[in-house]
Amino acid sequence: MNNTNSRYKIGIRGSGAMAEVDNAGLIHFGNSKLLRWVIAGDDRWYDPSADASVRQTTRDGFPIVVTKMRVPTGDVTTLAYCVADHGGVVVFEVRNESTLPFAVVLSDPAWRTVRNPVPMHDEITQAKMLAHVGFPTDAVIHPIGHQASLRFVYGAAGLLSREQIESLPTVDQVASGWEKALSGATRYNLPDHGIVKEANSIRAALLMGVAEQNDIADQVVATTESIRLGEKLNDVELNDYVAGIEELLKGKQRAGLLRSLLRRSKTTEAAPWYVDAVLSGATFALHKLAQHTAASDVRLARAELSTNTRFTEVPPPGDFYALSPMKRLLRVDCEFARTRFKHSQSGVDVLPLLTATRLGDPSENWLGVNFEVHGLSAGSGTVGYAVRWHGERAAVLWEASDTSVLPVTSMANDPTWSGNELSGEVLLASPSEHQ
């Protein structure tokens, strides 16, 4: 039997969670309302709450939940997602990916589709069959032919007409919309798609307003990411954002924050690994908001912090999922670029150590792997790059948005290289030379 305790939140931008989808693909609402579904095959009932063949994922990390269950000669696939039309609509789509017809049974008749339900048997027999799987007598039954699909909807504004249902965006359009909504953040084209999905999932939760935030650092990161994604701050929100940055710098002894790190000291003090990345992102976000004085203040504070502080080591790849969601975002970005200060000069250091294990896949390293990263925040601008291999040497093609990002280096892979132009290409030394 599946564990139905873990749930995906689905919704639209700014909506909160309109519904939650459990591991069986059942849809839950905050008012205890629940949509159950089962499949009536030729041989037996197929119940996702009890079937061991159920598999589940999201589409590219977006709040589009894909649940699959084996039926004879193939799968039944369900999609659960939300669209903004008509005040917000929850969509439940059932696809028959087998070679035989079956019927889907929904526990709640309030879910609408483009056609009327069809009884399978006489009223008494059907009631007994539904009772066998714990469904009420008003459950609805819809046959679905092989390779066919059917969409059901539940609207916040009430029942929808057939024409309204047919005009709703498709799941492909919804996915495209989420991709566009997240385009302002860092974009990754990596062989390990799991990390891309994780970052998309966290950022989508931010846009919905349901992202987990455990401490001041998480709150600052959440606001920074929201700004990058195009969210506007009112005066109160901006003041709260700046206050959070100030509290992080002051280091009140709470939630593992810093302790007076900006005061001059004869000893080098330790700080969590993520603090420098939090402040770097905040500098970029404040520039984006045209709060240039505040951005300059944070940059200067970060420069002073870097001279007085020893930062703890970045968590290894195997510890990635033990981090909070906001710190996972930082960890992904830290894998591919880190802004730095050296002799009062800023710059950005790019590329993971090519001989090191890959984030999210500790069994592999980056040797021979082509990948791209775009829109990494650095200074008051961004940097992106692509890696292409020529034998055992990596060629790096980079592009920076402005001079605040420069120089571009990759000290872990080739300490002799420094890129001082806004764009260019370099063939790094062989990894074997720096192991």
pLDDT in tens, 324-340: 999 999 999 999 998 87
pLDDT of residue 193: 79
Taking alpha carbons only, the member of 418, 385, 415, 425 closest to residue 401 is 385
Measured between alpha carbons, how far is 429 from 202 in angstroms, rounded to an integer? 36
Taking alpha carbons only, the member of 211, 203, 162 closest to residue 184 is 203
Residue 407, preceding peptide bond in cis (omega within 30° of 0): yes
Measured between alpha carbons, how far is 389 from 343 in angstroms, rounded to an integer? 33
Q: Where are the alpha helices (DSSP H) in 256-398?
A: 274-288, 292-308, 325-336
pLDDT of residue 45: 94
Q: Is 290 exposed, middle or buried (0-12, 13-18, 19+ CB in 10 A)?
A: exposed
| Positive or negative torsion for Cα 127, 132, 134, 135 | negative
Give backbone dihedrals phi and psi of 42, rounded to 5 degrees, phi first.
-65, -25
DSSP structural state of residue 112: B
pLDDT (tens digit per residue) in 290-328: 999 999 888 888 887 777 777 888 998 889 999 999 999
Whether the predicted pLDDT of 133 surpasses 50: yes
CB count, 10 Å around CB of 232? 9
Measured between alpha carbons, how far is 180 from 284 in angstroms, rounded to an integer? 21
pLDDT of residue 256: 34
pLDDT of residue 333: 92
Residue 106 gets the label, from left (phi > 0), alpha (psi -120 to 50) or beta, of beta
Position 154, amino acid: Y
Q: Where are the alpha helices (DSSP H) in 229-324?
A: 235-250, 274-288, 292-308
Whether the predicted pLDDT of 357 surpasses 50: yes
Q: What tokens were used for 211? A: 């992202």
pLDDT more than 70, % of the chain: 92
Q: For residues 81, 84, 90 and 93, what is the CA-based torsion angle, rounded to 10 degrees?
A: -50
Q: Which H or E run includes 10? A: strand 7-10
pLDDT of residue 387: 98
pLDDT (tens digit per residue) in 184-230: 999 999 987 789 999 999 999 999 999 999 999 999 999 999 999 99
Measured between alpha carbons, how far is 385 from 9 in angstroms, rounded to an integer? 33
Mean of the pLDDT values across residues 261-274?
Answer: 61
Measured between alpha carbons, how far is 78 from 86 in angstroms, rounded to an integer? 22
Taking alpha carbons only, the member of 235, 306, 231, 318 closest to residue 276 is 306
Whether the predicted pLDDT of 360 surpasses 80: no
Q: How confident is the model at residue 388 (pLDDT cuts 50, 70, 90)?
A: very high
Give backbone dihedrals phi and psi of 199, rounded to 5 degrees, phi first.
-65, -40
Q: Are 310 and 268 in contact (CB under 8 A)?
A: yes
Query: Which is higher by pLDDT, 431 or 177?
Result: 177
Q: How confident is the model at residue 264 (pLDDT cuts 50, 70, 90)?
A: very low
pLDDT of residue 308: 73
Tell me what the pLDDT averaged over the chain comes to. Answer: 89
For the chain, give the longest Cα–Cα distance. 87
Q: Are 342 and 368 in contact (CB under 8 A)?
A: no
pLDDT more than 90, % of the chain: 70
pLDDT of residue 427: 97
Residue 119, preceding peptide bond in cis (omega within 30° of 0): no
pLDDT of residue 288: 93
Q: Are 48 and 21 in contact (CB under 8 A)?
A: no
Whether the predicted pLDDT of 57 surpasses 80: yes
Taking alpha carbons only, the member of 223, 249, 252, 340 closest to residue 301 is 249
Q: What tokens were used for 99? A: 């070679």
Q: How confident is the model at residue 31 (pLDDT cuts 50, 70, 90)?
A: confident
Measured between alpha carbons, how far is 157 from 18 in angstroms, rounded to an integer? 13
pLDDT of residue 3: 39
Measured between alpha carbons, how far is 366 from 352 in angstroms, rounded to an integer? 8
Mean of the pLDDT values across residues 17-36?
Answer: 94
pLDDT of residue 345: 57
pLDDT (tens digit per residue) in 101-112: 999 999 999 999
User: What does the DSSP assignment read for 182-219?
Assistant: TTTS-EEE-S-HHHHHHHHHHHHHHHHT-----SHHHH
Tokens 């280096």 identify what position? Answer: 409
